[in-house]
A = this chain, B = another copy of it.
Amino acid sequence: MKRNENLTRREREKQKQREDMLAAALTLFSEKGYHNVSMQEIAGKAEFAIGTLYKFFRNKEDLYKTLMVEKVDSFQSALTAAIEDADDEIEKLRNYVRVKAALFQADAPVIRLYFAETRGASFNVRAGLDNEIRKKHEQFLKKLALVFEAGIRKQRFRKIAAPYDLAVALDSLTNTFLHLWLEAPELHPFPEDPDILLNILFQGLIEIDP
């Protein structure tokens, strides 16, 4: 986030306009998908003429890419902070689930879009963006894996799988359950307590002595 200080009134206005355009685009993309939204429509929703939209973004893909990269970056840093802020490994994981839940709740449209283009195919938009997002996601998974690795090293966790695989598993489970909650909160309310989700990992389904 850039500071608003040291900017002329005009610059602040332009920034606001840019944000409005991105917001309009985000809503439309997340509602209807990249291909089913026209630049005309975005301009209309943001209350600008198409020409103005093109003054801010080279083309549709640039607009989309800008949108996604900005959002993904902010998500990644929030999640990274979440697993770095606590000392205890278990608390790190709880933090992760809590923060991720909050992000999902606060920014449902982006989340939907993120899933659409990330989990979905690698072809919805040009490959370039997708790779960038995948790379960032991969980076985060590696950080999450370090938490599991440390936990296992300190013998707080049993080594039921490779650290990276555990990170993938946790990522997958949180995505799925949060997604469930996002799409049908009345059927699948998401619990406040992160342990309800984490217990699926923490406790074993079958009683096995080590």
Interface size class of A (residues with CB under 8 A): 35 or more
User: Which A1-56 residues have a C-beta within 8 angstroms of B?
Assistant: 30-33, 35-36
Chain B residue at minimal CB-CB distance from A204: B204
A192 at interface by CB-CB < 8 Å: no
Nearest Cβ on chain B to A70's Cβ, whole angstroms: 19
- CB–CB B196/A203 < 8 A: no
**Which residue of B90, B116, B180, B205 is within 8 Å of A124 (Cβ)?**
B116
- CB–CB B199/A121 < 8 A: no
- CB–CB B36/A123 < 8 A: yes
Nearest Cβ on chain B to A124's Cβ, whole angstroms: 5
Chain B residues with CB under 8 Å of A166's CB are 200, 205
Binding site for B on A (CB under 8 A): 30-33, 35-36, 90, 112-113, 115-117, 119-121, 123-124, 156-158, 160-161, 165-166, 168-169, 171-173, 175-177, 180, 196, 199-208, 210
Jot down 10 A-B pairs with beta carbons below 8 A, ordered by A: A117-B120, A158-B205, A161-B196, A166-B205, A169-B173, A169-B176, A171-B176, A172-B177, A200-B201, A201-B205
